[in-house]
Structures are given as structure tokens and as C-alpha cells.
């Protein structure tokens, strides 16, 4: 990292550390600069650097445009959050036009894209990644440049306006928050896990509680 004339210049290693993006993804973004508008580099002691503020602004806009471009359909927010799904169903959950976007994200993950929870070994010896539904829902809820996932869609059924709407677990979470307004999720989850016939994981309850806080009532 170098400072010059009021600017902070970041090497690729600095960008990786600051933004949590893999070196492979950073390299691919640079390689595709003719198409994506990646900022020009400045070479310092033989190492490429980029203006940190300029790069961060560009990357945010690039992520926003990419999310808007690939999200063709309304996300699928139904199903068992613990169910593991392959690329085709992952694409449907995220509202992508097809699984090609998922395949691309596996190789060049955008910010917030979840690592697979498991994988299948195919007869050919290749592997097929799998994700739990709640991982993909969390990505949709938190990604920058949300596309269809960020708000209500005209004509969209009410039960799919946001995650867990109409789910009894969301009602339980709202009740727990109302009864313990200052409590953190970690304090509420053990009680909530004991109120359902099936035991759901802490990440699932974290996401349900997040929804409950964002949507305290229907």
C-alpha cells in the first residue's frame, strides 16, 4: 500500500485483504478490463497498484450492474432452508436465467457468494457443488445491487415478498424479539430451537431473526 498526493494506492494483495476478493477473481477482473471498465493500473517498483477509492467505486458499480443483468426472474424463496441443491436449482432460487451464472460464480465468486456446503461426485469423476437454500437466500438478502431480490415486485404473491413470510418460525422469532427487545440472536436461538419439532441450524435461525427484525409485522 502506498500513499501519494492524498491518494492511497493498493496492490492486488491489498485489494484482496481489504475487500475479501480472491486473487483469481481480481486477476480475471483485470484481464476483462476492456469489457468491464476496470480502472487503469499504476506500476510502483514493478508491481501494479490502483487508486483505492477509484477501484472501490468501480467495483461497487460493477457488482450492481452484474447483479441486475443476470437476475431475470423473481427469486424462489420457498422450500426447506436446510435442503442442499445443485447449480440448476440454485439458479432458480436466485432468479438467474440459467445455471451458467452459477457456474461462473463458482469460478469467479462475486462479493458474498457462498462457498458450497457439499458436493456430489459424478460418474465422470467431476464434482457438482451444492448449497443449502438458506445460504442462497442470505446471498440474495445481503448482496449489493439486489435486482429483484431487494423489494416488492408487481404481481408477486404476498407470501414471497420477503424470506419466511407466512412461516411459523418467523412468528416465533418476532415473538422472541418482542419479549426480549435487547437480546442478541445468540441469546434467542437456543430458546427458538426448542420450539419447533425439527431442530434448525443457527445460520437458519440467524436469517429468520434478521428477517423478523427487518419485517416486525406482515
* CATH T-level fold of 2-69: Multidrug-efflux Transporter Regulator; Chain: A; Domain 2 (1.10.1660)
Map out the domains of the chain as residue ranges. Answer: 2-69, 84-158, 168-214
**What's residue 171's pLDDT?**
92
pLDDT at 152 over 50: no
**What's residue 145's pLDDT?**
47
What does the pLDDT look like over 84-118, one tens digit per residue?
999 999 999 988 877 888 888 888 788 789 999 99
Distance CA 99, CA 88 (A): 5
Q: From edge to edge, which strands make up the β-sheet containing 84-85? A: 84-85, 127-132, 118-121
CA angle (4, 49, 44) in 5-degree steps:
70
pLDDT at 164 over 90: no
Distance CA 34, CA 49 (A): 18
Of residues 184 and 153, more confidently modeled:
184
Of residues 156 and 49, more confidently modeled:
49
And the C-alpha cell for 185? 440472536
**What's residue 72's pLDDT?**
60
pLDDT at 198 over 50: yes
**What's residue 175's pLDDT?**
94
pTM (2 d.p.):
0.46
pLDDT at 155 over 70: no
**What's residue 14's pLDDT?**
93
Amino acid at each position: 500500500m502506498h500513499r501519494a498526493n492524498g491518494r492511497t494506492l493498493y496492490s492486488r494483495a491489498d485489494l484482496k485483504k481489504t475487500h475479501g476478493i480472491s486473487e483469481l477473481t481480481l486477476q480475471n477482473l483485470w484481464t476483462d478490463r476492456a469489457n468491464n471498465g476496470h480502472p487503469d493500473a499504476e506500476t510502483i517498483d514493478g508491481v501494479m497498484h490502483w487508486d483505492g477509492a477509484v477501484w472501490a467505486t468501480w467495483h461497487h458499480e460493477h457488482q450492481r450492474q452484474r447483479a441486475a443483468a443476470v437476475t431475470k426472474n423473481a427469486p424462489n424463496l420457498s422450500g426447506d432452508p436446510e435442503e442442499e441443491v445443485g447449480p440448476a436449482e440454485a439458479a432458480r432460487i436466485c432468479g438467474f436465467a440459467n445455471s451458467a451464472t452459477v457456474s461462473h460464480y463458482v469460478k469467479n465468486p462475486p462479493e458474498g457468494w457462498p462457498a458450497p456446503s457439499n458436493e456430489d461426485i459424478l460418474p465422470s469423476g467431476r464434482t457438482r457443488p451444492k448449497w443449502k437454500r438458506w445460504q442462497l437466500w442470505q446471498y440474495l438478502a445481503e448482496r449489493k445491487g439486489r435486482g429483484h431480490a431487494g423489494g416488492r415486485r408487481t404481481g408477486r404473491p404476498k407470501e414471497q415478498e420477503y424470506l419466511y413470510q407466512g412461516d411459523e418460525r418467523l412468528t416465533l422469532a418476532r415473538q422472541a424479539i418482542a419479549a426480549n427487545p435487547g437480546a442478541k440472536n445468540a441469546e434467542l436461538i437456543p430458546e427458538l430451537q426448542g420450539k419447533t419439532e425439527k431442530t434448525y441450524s443457527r445460520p437458519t435461525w440467524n436469517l429468520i431473526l434478521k428477517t423478523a427484525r427487518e419485517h416486525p409485522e406482515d
